[in-house]
Amino acid sequence: MPTPGNALVGQSGGPTTVINSSLAGVIDAAAKSKQIGRVLGMRFGIEGVLSDFLLDLSAEKRETIKALCTTPSSALGSSRLKLRDEHFDPILKRLKRYNIRYFFMIGGNDTMDTIHRIVSYARSAGWEMTGVGIPKTVDNDLFGTDHTPGFPSAGRYVALSVQQGALLARDMQRVDQFTIFQTVGRSAGWLPAAAACARRKPGDAPHIILLPERHFERDDFLEAVANAHKKHGFVSIVCGEGITNPDGTPVSASTTTDNFKNVEFGAMGGTSAAMILHRIISDEFRWRGEFQVTESLQMCAADRAVKLDLVEAYACGKEAVSLATRGNGGVMVTIKRSSKAGEPYKSTFGTIPLSEVAVHARPMPDQYIAPGGMDVTRSFMNYVTPLVGVLPEYPGLTIKRAKV
């Protein structure tokens, strides 16, 4: 059995609507464990350990922890600090000072790498500690899991935004002939693809979906825009922020990167993919149009949270504690879908080594991308619909000219 002691938990990277639900799951499960004493929270990720800014989460009131489940953003605060060699010794001193024997972090690829490196360093120095990762990302690109907590709610946010924005575009088509909605997601198209859930009948928006898994081909895109406009009277376009040109350069032309060498699309006053697409269409057709870049709003819209997402996020936090206290460390919790297409959704939990998550990504597979690369397939809709849920259907007017 692992050595009894205190637990340390942190959040890292961008938030999701349900990341605090995972945190509540960790706290609740740890409180029931005989092997874990206090649960300490890192303020602003791993920076909280380095600066000795830890919160005693075990001292919080029960109603506060319960309320975390429906609280947006990252309650502990986040960080994108990339660990350097000189950080490990100060971190180890804090771990020993607070008798940390269980280490949990909620995050994506870079976060899983952080857990793996810290636990490995501690053990090499003779400090026994068990680390488990809890998945989180709206991008849905973590390797080894059916989906990540945060994606269903973000997908619903995108789908509702596109659906409702399309009603505006449809009715304003004599003013604005096109609209472009940009989602977050550097290199995976899961989130822009989720916009397809906005469709309730043929012809509904979005008419074009641009995915990072397929290079942006200007001529093919303009042809698709012209065809959609001719057919529908307006054009609804959704794009991932990380779409690239055939030579691999970002359509956004961004060159700004974060500490992990990830491109910061639209950062520091730069352009966005939606802005570039807007310019391309306007220059070609001389149309007026709109672009909508919501950035982090899709990561924290608690009013559009999916109940399934909240439940699974909380359960992932509990599962992480269960794994750690049973000595199953060095892994990330995964969600495994146990139901088939057309059946009521069911899932179980699994694990994947942290080292594998840290070095792999999970782009959309080819069978989810339609021929031509600007839409999704029925297979993708079978995958995503149980997660995002069915969207409301708005009544439409019967358009007939008045007779005198």
**Tens digit of each residue's pLDDT (9 = 90 or more) over 350-380:** 999 999 998 888 999 999 999 999 999 999 9
Letter string b/e over residues 111-132, b meaning 16 or more CB atoms within 10 A of that residue's CB: bbbbbbbbbbbbeeeeeebbbb
Q: State the DSSP H helix or E strand holding residue 208, giving kind and residue range, or none if neither.
A: strand 208-210
Assess if residue 398 is contained within a domain.
Answer: no
Closest CA to 45 of 96, 118, 97: 118
User: Based on the domain organization, do 25 and 115 belong to the same domain?
Assistant: yes
Tokens of 302: 């608690």
**Residue 119: pLDDT above 50?**
yes
Give the Cα separation of 204 and 179 in Å (integer).
14
User: In the prediction, which pLDDT does 286 show?
Assistant: 96
In 211-330, which residue ranges form alpha helices assigned H by DSSP? Answer: 218-232, 273-285, 307-325
Q: Do the Cβ atoms of 160 and 368 come closer than 8 Å?
A: no
pLDDT of residue 61: 96
Residue 219 burial by Cβ neighbours in a 10 Å radius (0-12, 13-18, 19+): exposed
CATH of the domain at 283: 3.40.50.460
Is residue 18 a contact partner of residue 313, using CB atoms and an 8 Å limit?
yes
- One-letter amino acid identity for 73? S
Q: Is 397 part of a structural domain of the chain?
A: no
Write out pLDDT tens, residues 265-323. Answer: 444 445 799 999 999 999 999 999 999 999 889 999 999 999 999 999 999 999 999 99
Q: How far is CA 222 from the centre of its chain?
A: 29
Residues 116 and 174 in one domain: no
Structural domain contains residue 345: yes
For 169, phi then psi, to 5°, come to: -65, -40
pLDDT over 60 (residue 337): yes
Closest CA to 264 of 278, 274, 276, 250: 250
Q: What is the mean pLDDT of the chain?
A: 93
> Residue 401: inside a domain, yes or no?
no
CB 374 within 8 A of CB 221: yes
- pLDDT-derived band at 256 (thresholds 50, 70, 90) equals very low
**H runs (alpha helix) in 5-61:** 19-32, 46-50
Structure confidence at residue 262 as a pLDDT band (50, 70, 90)? low
The reported pLDDT for the residue numbered 255 is 46
Hey, which bits of 300-370 come out as E strands?
331-337, 347-353
Q: Which domain holds residue 139?
A: 5-149+303-359
122 and 23, same structural domain? yes
For residue 268, give the DSSP letter: G
Question: What is the rounded distance in angstroms from the CA atom of residue 241 to the CA atom of residue 256?
Answer: 14
Q: Which tens digits make up the pLDDT trace of 124-154? A: 999 999 999 999 999 999 999 999 999 999 9
Contact 61, 31 (CB under 8 A): no
Residues contacting 302, CB < 8 A, separation 6+: 17, 70, 71, 72
Does the residue 395 lie in any domain? Answer: no
* 329 and 262 inside one domain: no
Task: Show Cβ contacts of residue 74 under 8 Å, excluding neighbours closer than 6 positions.
Answer: 11, 15, 19, 20
CB atoms near residue 269 (< 10 Å): 6
pLDDT at 270: 54
Domain at 109, CATH number: 3.40.50.450
Q: Compute the distance between CA of residue 137 and CA of residue 299 in angstroms, rounded to an integer.
A: 9
Exposure on the CB side of residue 243, measured as CA atoms within 13 A:
28
Report the domain count for the chain: 2
Give the closest residue to 5 by CA, choosing from 125, 128, 99: 99
Q: Which one is predicted more confidently, 349 or 295?
A: 349
Region for 261 from its dihedrals, namely left if φ exceeds 0, alpha if ψ lies in -120 to 50, beta otherwise: left
Q: For residue 102, give the nearest of 148, 162, 57 by alpha carbon.
A: 57
pLDDT at 267: 45
Q: Is 320 helix (H, G, I), strand (E, B) or coil?
A: helix
Residue 344 pLDDT > 60: yes
pLDDT tens for 17-67 read 999 999 999 999 999 999 999 999 999 999 999 999 999 999 999 999 999
Active-site option among 113, 139, 309, 375: 139
With respect to residue 115, please indicate whether it lies within any of the assigned structural domains.
yes
The model's confidence at residue 263, banded by pLDDT at 50, 70 and 90, is low
Residue 133 inside a domain? The answer is yes
Choose among 35, 34, 53: nearest CA to 44. 53
Q: Are 111 and 121 contained in the same domain?
A: yes
Contact 131, 330 (CB under 8 A): yes
Q: Which amino acid is it at 380?
A: F
Please say if 113 is a catalytic residue. no
Residues 166 and 65 in one domain: no
Least confident range from 9-13, 184-188, 232-236, 345-349: namely 184-188
Q: Taking 90 as the threshold, does the pLDDT of residue 108 lie above it?
A: yes
Same domain flag for 47 and 169: no
Q: Is the same domain home to 127 and 169?
A: no
Task: Report if residue 402 sits inside a domain.
Answer: no
How does pLDDT run across 55-83, given as a tens digit for each residue? 999 999 999 999 999 999 999 999 888 89
Looking at the predicted structure, is the pLDDT value of residue 258 above 60?
A: no
Asked if 288 and 282 count as a contact pair (C-beta separation under 8 A), the reply is yes
pLDDT score for 404: 83
CA distance 233 to 170: 8
Looking at the structure, tell me whether residues 118 and 19 fall in a common domain. yes
- Give the mean pLDDT of 159-188: 93
Distance CA 62, CA 75 (A): 15
Do 257 and 161 share a structural domain? yes
